[in-house]
Amino acid sequence: MTAHAYAGRTAIAGIGATEFSKRSGRSELRLALEACVAALDDAGVAPEQVSGLSTFTMDTNPESDVMRSLGIKELTHFSRVHFGGGAPCGTVQLAAMAVHEGVADYVLCYRAFNERSGHRFGTGVQDRVPGHTAEEVAYAWTSPFGLLTPASWIAMFATRMMHEFGVTSEDFGRVAVADRRHAATNPRAWFYEQPITLEDHQNSRWIVEPLHLLDCCQETDGGQAILVTSLERARDLRRPPVVIEGAAQGMAEDQQMMRSFFRDEITGLPEMGVCARQIWETSGLGPDDVQTAVVYDHFTPFVLPQLEEFGFCARGEAKDFIADGNIELGGRLPVNTHGGQLGEGYLHGMNGIAEGVRQVRGTSVNQVDGAEHVLVTGGTGVPTSALLLGAA
Amino acid sequence: MTDTTEPDDLLAALRALVGTEGPPTTPRHPVDETLVAHWCDAMGDDHPVYVDPDAAAASVHGGLVAPPATLDIWDRGGLKHARSADSPRGRALALLEAAGFTSVVAVNSELELRRYVRPGELLSNVEILDAVSEEKATGLGVGHFVTTRHRYSTADGEHVGDLLFRVLKFKPGTGRPAPGPGEGAPPPPDPDPALRPRPAINLDNEFFWEGARRHELRIQQCRGCQALHNPPTPRCPDCGSFDQGWIVASGRGHLYSFAVPRYPQVRGFRYPVLVGLVELEEGARLVSNVVGVTREQLSVGMPLEVCWLDSHPAQVEGETDARGPITLPQFRPATPPRREATLAAADVAEGDALPLFAVPVTTTLIVAGALATRDFTDVHHDRDAAVRAGSPDVFMNINTTLGLTERYVTDWAGPDAVVRALRVRLGAPNHPGDILAFSGSVQSVDPATGAVVVALQGANGLGAHVTGTVELTLPTASTPTQEASR
The 3-class SS string of A57-83 reads CCCCCCHHHHHHHHCCCCCCEEEEECC
From B315's Cα to the closest Cα of chain A, the distance in A is: 19
Longest dimension (CA), chain A: 57
At B140 the pLDDT is 83
pLDDT the model gives residue B183: 45
Is B145 in the same domain as B221?
no
Q: Give chain A's mean pLDDT.
A: 97
B48 within some domain: no
B402, B422 Cβ separation under 8 angstroms: yes
pLDDT band at B82 (very low <50, low <70, confident <90, very high): low
Instruction: Show Cβ contacts of residue B340 under 8 Å, excluding neighbours closer than 6 positions.
Output: B414, B415
Torsion of CA B172, B178, B183, B184, to 10 degrees: -100
pLDDT per position as a tens digit, B224-259: 999 999 999 999 999 999 999 999 999 999 999 999
Interface contact flag, B275 A122, Cβ < 8 Å = no
CA–CA dist B136, B168 (Å, integer): 9
Q: Please indicate if any CB of chain A lies within 8 Å of the CB of B214.
A: no
Q: Is the pLDDT of residue A345 over 90?
A: yes
Same domain, B412 and B378: yes
| B49 domain-assigned | no
- d(Cα A150, Cα B188) in Å, to the nearest integer? 23
For position B139, what pLDDT does the model report? 83
A6 is a catalytic site residue = no
Look at the alpha carbons of B125, B130, B135, B138 in this order and tell me if their dihedral is positive or negative: negative
Say if residue B23 is in the same domain as residue B164.
Answer: yes
Q: Are residues B219 and B294 in the same domain?
A: yes
Q: Is residue B54 part of a domain?
A: no
Q: Which pLDDT does position B174 carry in this prediction? A: 85
The strand order across the sheet containing B244-248 reads B228-229, B218-222, B244-248
pLDDT at position B188, please? 47
B262/A contact by beta carbon, under 8 A:
yes
Please state, in angstroms and rounded to a whole number, the distance separating the CA atoms of residues B324 and B312.
Answer: 8
Question: Pairing relation of β-strands A292-294 and A373-377?
Answer: parallel
The confidence score (pLDDT) of residue B484 equals 44
Asked whether the CA dihedral B24, B25, B29, B30 is positive or negative, the reply is negative
Q: Does B367 touch chain A (CB under 8 A)?
A: no
Q: Please give the pLDDT value at position A157.
A: 98
Q: Does A132 contact B200 at a Cβ distance shorter than 8 Å?
A: yes
Residues A369/A231, Cβ–Cβ less than 8 Å: no
Q: Do B277 and A261 touch (CB under 8 A)?
A: yes
Q: Which long-range contacts (CB under 8 A, 24 or more apart) does A280-285 make?
A: A280/A246, A280/A311, A281/A1, A281/A2, A281/A3, A282/A2, A282/A3, A282/A4, A282/A7, A282/A245, A282/A246, A282/A248, A283/A7, A283/A8, A283/A245, A283/A246, A283/A373, A283/A388, A283/A390, A285/A245, A285/A246, A285/A373, A285/A388
pLDDT at A120 over 90: yes
Chain A CB within 8 Å of residue B234 CB: no
pLDDT of residue A354: 98
Q: Which of A6, A106, A139, A346 is catalytic?
A: A346
**What percent of chain A shows pLDDT beyond 70?**
100
Residues B347 and B436 in one domain: yes
Residues B84 and B134 in one domain: yes
The candidate with the shortest Cα–Cα distance to A346, out of A111, A187, A153, A91, is: A111
Q: Specify whether B95 is located in the same domain as B134.
A: yes
Do A216 and A207 touch, CB atoms closer than 8 A? yes
Domain end point (choices B284, B303, B333): B333
The alpha-carbon gap from A231 to the nearest alpha carbon of chain B, in Å, equals 42
For the question of residue A296 being annotated catalytic, the response is yes
Residue B265 sits in the same domain as residue B329: yes
Write down which residue in B177, B201, B221 finishes a domain.
B177
Sequence letter at residue B248: V
**pLDDT at residue number A252:** 97
Amino acid B81: pLDDT: 72
The contacts of residue B83 (CB under 8 Å, 6+ apart) are: B76, B77, B90
In a domain, B50, yes or no: no
| Other beta carbons less than 10 A from residue B81's beta carbon | 11
Q: Are A68 and A361 in contact (CB under 8 A)?
A: no
> Quick check: B121 pLDDT over 50?
yes
Task: Name every chain A residue with its beta carbon within 8 A of the beta carbon of B200.
Answer: 130-133, 136-137, 139-140
Identify any residues that bridge with A185 across adjacent strands, giving them in sequence order.
Answer: none
- Taking an 8 Å cut-off on Cβ atoms, the answer to whether A133 and B202 are in contact is yes
**Residue A158: pLDDT over 50:** yes
Q: For residue A152, list chain B residues with Cβ-Cβ distance below 8 A.
A: 259, 261, 275
Contact criterion met (CB < 8 Å) for B300 and A159: yes
DSSP state, residue A286: -
Facing residue for A146 by CB, picked from B205, B230, B273 = B273
In this structure, are B365 and B255 located in the same domain?
Answer: no
Determine the longest span between alpha carbons in chain B, in angstroms.
85
Distance from CA of B260 to the nearest CA of A (A): 5
pLDDT score, position B83: 63
Give residue B7's pLDDT.
Answer: 75
Q: Residue B267 contacts by C-beta under 8 Å, 6 or more apart in sequence?
A: A126, B189, B190, B192, B195, B196
How far apart CA B165 and CA B71 sit, in angstroms, is 12
Query: Is B277 in the A-facing interface, judged by CB distances under 8 Å?
Result: yes
Domain total of chain B: 3
Residue A130 has pLDDT above 80, yes or no: yes
Q: What integer is the mean pLDDT of A341-365? A: 98
State the CATH architecture for A10-118+217-391. Answer: 3-Layer(aba) Sandwich (3.40)
Q: Is B202 on the interface with A (CB under 8 A)?
A: yes
Comparing B53-67, B72-86, B263-277, which segment has the lowest mean pLDDT? B72-86
B15: part of which helix (H) or strand (E)?
helix B7-17
Q: Decide if B380 is inside a domain.
A: yes
- A124 contact residues in B (CB cutoff 8 A): 264, 266
State percent of chain B over pLDDT 70: 93
Average pLDDT, chain B: 92
pLDDT of the residue at B79? 87
Tell me, yes or no, whether B383 and B329 share the same domain.
no
Same domain assignment for residues B421 and B464 = yes
How far does CA A232 lie from the centroid of its chain? Answer: 26
| Residue B26 maps to a domain | yes
Assess whether pLDDT exceeds 80 at residue B179: no
pLDDT of residue B402: 97
SS3 of A354, please?
helix
Does B353 map to a domain?
Answer: yes
pLDDT above 70 for B180:
no
Name the minimum distance, in Å, from the CA of B446 to any CA of chain A: 37
Domain boundaries, chain A: 10-118+217-391
What's the CATH code of the domain at B344? 3.10.129.10
Q: List, in order, residues 6 or more apart from A265 with CB less than 8 Å away.
A: none
How much of chain A, in percent, has pLDDT values that exceed 90?
A: 97
pLDDT tens-digit series, residues B13-33? 999 999 999 999 989 899 999
What is the value of ipTM here, to two decimals? 0.97
pLDDT in tens, B313-371: 999 888 998 889 999 999 999 999 999 999 999 999 999 999 999 999 999 999 999 99
Q: What tens digit of pLDDT does each residue of A180-207 get?
A: 999 999 999 999 999 999 999 999 999 9
Q: Which of A143, A152, A256 sits opposite B197 (nearest CB)?
A: A143
Cis upstream peptide for B264 (omega within 30°):
yes
Contact B257, A266 (CB under 8 A): yes
What residue of A is the nearest CA neighbor of B233? A134
State which of B177, B201, B230 marks the end of a domain. B177
Condensed to tens digits (0 to 9), the pLDDT of residues B407-433 reads 999 999 999 999 999 999 999 999 998
Whether B295 and A146 lie within 8 Å, measured CB to CB: no
DSSP state of A312: S
| A110: CB partners within 8 A, 6+ apart | A32, A35, A36, A39, A53, A54, A55, A59, A61, A66, A223, A224, A225, A226, A350
Looking at the fold, whether B166 and B200 belong to one and the same domain comes out as no
Full residue range of the structural domain in which residue B442 is found: 339-486
> Whose CA is closest to A382, among A58, A132, A103?
A58
pLDDT band at B80 (very low <50, low <70, confident <90, very high): confident
Q: Is B188 on the interface with A (CB under 8 A)?
A: no
> For B209-230, what is each residue's pLDDT tens digit?
999 999 999 999 999 999 999 9
Provide the pLDDT for residue B2: 46
Å between B302 CA and nearest CA of chain A: 13
Closest Cα of chain B to A198: distance in Å? 21
**pLDDT, tens digit, 9 for 90 and up, residues B97-114:** 999 999 888 999 999 999
Mutate to test the interface with A, among B236, B287, B311 (most CBs of A within 10 A): B287
B191 close contact with A: CB closer than 8 A = no
What is the pLDDT, as a whole number, of residue A214? 98
